Amino acid sequence: MSTEARTATFTAADWSGGVLPYRVGHRKLGMWLFIVSDSLTFSALLMGYAYLRASNNWPTPFPFYPSIVFSTVMTFCLLSSSLTMVFGVSASSRGDKAGARKWILATIFFGVSFIVLHLIEWNHLISEGLRPFFLPEHWVKVFTTPDGIPPTPLFGATFFTITGLHMFHVASGAVYLGVVAARVKKLKHEDIEISGLYWHFVDLVWMFVFPLIYILSVDVGGHLAK
Amino acid sequence: MSAHAHADEHFAGSNKLFISVWVWLLVLTGIEVFLAYKPIPIHFMLTILMGLSIIKAALIVAYFMHLKFERLSLVLTIVPMLVACICLLFVFFPDSFRSSGLRYKFKEQPPVQPQSSENP
């Protein structure tokens, strides 16, 4: 099966009915197509962010602590949750449903940790005065250029939209995995694999959000602390 | 038969392999955080970070999402069109740079009256 899957690509017989042309079930194919369309949503948002950033005086306000420390630990949580999810799918493929449930619960734990850390990090910024369409007063003072161009208030809009949509995906993923964990004995292996696909996708998106939003906005000289 | 085939396919990746992928992802993240504090010009920095992110994304898609072990026809259906669509979004950048040029028109030549700088 495996050899055949790697060597053969398209054959006429694949498309004449009665077989699965991609050798995956329709639900798994559906999840892949959903992931493609959701990737485009995030791509468009990140591209919009890049557009605004290239055409404005963009503030770079994130200090090492709390922002970078928190976001790095959050990255660690998501990467670890992907690993536990893979172990869960692996256990399920061996028919070990109890093991799968245990690993999925570990995945939910890491996902919820991510959300809690992210909300604390949001709270830091909100209490500093960051809003979707306003910057804190002292940011405006520090990041205004010598020739008087103020930093753009759209920083808050892009930050809260992109990280907020991602957080929504993590939260809905945690609920989805909760349902899968509760019903794990009734579900087929492929259904568990599909939930894993969604979870890895959430992790995948963060691999782009983290460097673009956080790493590229580090306050390197510590201007805000002065 | 198909259930068996699936179980067999999944064993294409061992737990050892997945742990090493996870370690690589952590190492690449560490490199990104390290680079954040290096005085690298933003264009160069963006290129390096995007390169690292694409490597990380590829590792996740190939091993965690198991695409490496799926049929080639599925890969060819999903990946090229996604990459093409994302590349098409680059069409907006010339406009972004143009509007940046408009906004910073007087950068080299500060306005005479301080008040006039409030007008964008």
Residue A3 forms part of a structural domain = no
CA–CA distance from A194 to each of A26, A89, A188 (Å)? 11, 9, 10
Tell me: pLDDT of B12 over 90.
Answer: no
Residue in chain B closest to A40 (alpha carbons) equals B86
Residue A6 forms part of a structural domain = no
Contacts of A218 in chain B (CB under 8 A): 36-37
In this complex, do B7 and A14 lie within 8 Å of one another by their Cβ atoms? no
A225 Cβ under 8 Å from any chain B Cβ: no
Task: Measure the CA–CA gap between A168 and A153, rounded to whole angstroms.
Answer: 23
Residue in chain B closest to A51 (alpha carbons) equals B96
Query: Residue B113: pLDDT band by 50, 70, 90 thresholds?
Result: low
A167 sits in which H/E element: helix A154-182
Tell me: pLDDT of B85 over 50.
Answer: yes
pLDDT at site B7: 43
Tell me: pLDDT of A206 over 70.
Answer: yes
CATH of the domain at A166: 1.20.120.80
How many other C-beta atoms can be found within 10 angstroms of the C-beta atom of residue A14? 17
Residue in chain A closest to B1 (alpha carbons) equals A1
How many other C-beta atoms can be found within 10 angstroms of the C-beta atom of residue B83? 10
Question: What would the pLDDT profile of A3-45 be if each residue is shown by its tens digit?
Answer: 444 444 567 777 787 888 888 889 999 999 999 999 999 999 9
Residue A42 forms part of a structural domain = yes
Contact partners, residue A114, CB within 8 Å, separation at least 6: A74, A77, A78, A81, A170
Contacts of B37 in chain A (CB under 8 A): 64, 218, 220
Ranges A57-71, A200-214, B95-109: which has the least confidence: B95-109
Average pLDDT over chain B, rounded to whole?
Answer: 82
Tell me: pLDDT of B104 over 90.
Answer: no
A193 Cβ under 8 Å from any chain B Cβ: yes
Which residue bears the tokens 């695409």? B67
Residue A180 forms part of a structural domain = yes
Tell me: pLDDT of B31 over 90.
Answer: yes
B20 sits in which H/E element: helix B15-36
In A20-83, which ranges are E strands? none
Query: Residue A1: pLDDT band by 50, 70, 90 thresholds?
Result: very low
pLDDT at site B112: 54
- Predicted structure pTM score: 0.87
Residue A1 forms part of a structural domain = no
pLDDT at site B120: 52
How long a stretch of residues is chain B? 120
Tell me: pLDDT of B21 over 60.
Answer: yes
**Is A127 strand, coil or helix?**
helix
Domain limits at A124?
25-217
Residue A8 forms part of a structural domain = no
Out of A54, A188, A196, name the one closest to residue B97 (CB): A54
pLDDT at site A112: 98
In this complex, do B6 and A212 lie within 8 Å of one another by their Cβ atoms? no
Closest CA to A71 of B113, B46, B30: B30
Task: Report which of residues A121 and A9 the model is more confident about.
Answer: A121
A185-190: average pLDDT: 94
DSSP label of A212:
I
* Structure tokens belonging to residue B39: 């005085």
Cα Rg of chain A (Å, integer) = 22
How many other C-beta atoms can be found within 10 angstroms of the C-beta atom of residue A9? 12
Task: Report which of residues B1 and A212 the model is more confident about.
Answer: A212
DSSP label of B117:
G
Contacting B residues, span 27-66, partner chain A, CB-CB under 8 Å: 29, 32-33, 35-37, 39, 42, 45-46, 49-50, 52-53, 56-57, 60-61, 63-66
pLDDT at site B6: 46
B78-94: average pLDDT: 94
The ipTM (two decimal places) reads: 0.90
Question: What would the pLDDT profile of A59-81 be if each residue is shown by its tens digit?
Answer: 999 999 999 999 999 999 999 99
Out of A39, A72, A216, name the one closest to residue B82 (CB): A39
- Per the CB < 8 A criterion, the answer to whether B11 and A93 are in contact is yes
Contacts of B41 in chain A (CB under 8 A): none
Question: What would the pLDDT profile of A131-175 be if each residue is shown by its tens digit?
Answer: 999 999 999 999 998 878 889 999 999 999 999 999 999 999 999
pLDDT at site B3: 43
pLDDT at site B111: 52
Contact partners, residue A22, CB within 8 Å, separation at least 6: A29, B70, B71, B73, B74, B77
Residue A190 forms part of a structural domain = yes
Contacts of B73 in chain A (CB under 8 A): 9-10, 14, 21-22
Out of A36, A82, A211, name the one closest to residue B53 (CB): A211
Tell me: pLDDT of B11 over 90.
Answer: no
Count of domains observed in chain A:
1
Question: What would the pLDDT profile of B38-76 be if each residue is shown by its tens digit?
Answer: 989 988 999 999 999 999 999 999 999 999 988 898 999
Out of B12, B32, B89, name the one closest to residue A211 (CB): B32
Closest CA to A118 of A214, A223, A42, A216: A214
How long a stretch of residues is chain A? 226
Residue A4 forms part of a structural domain = no
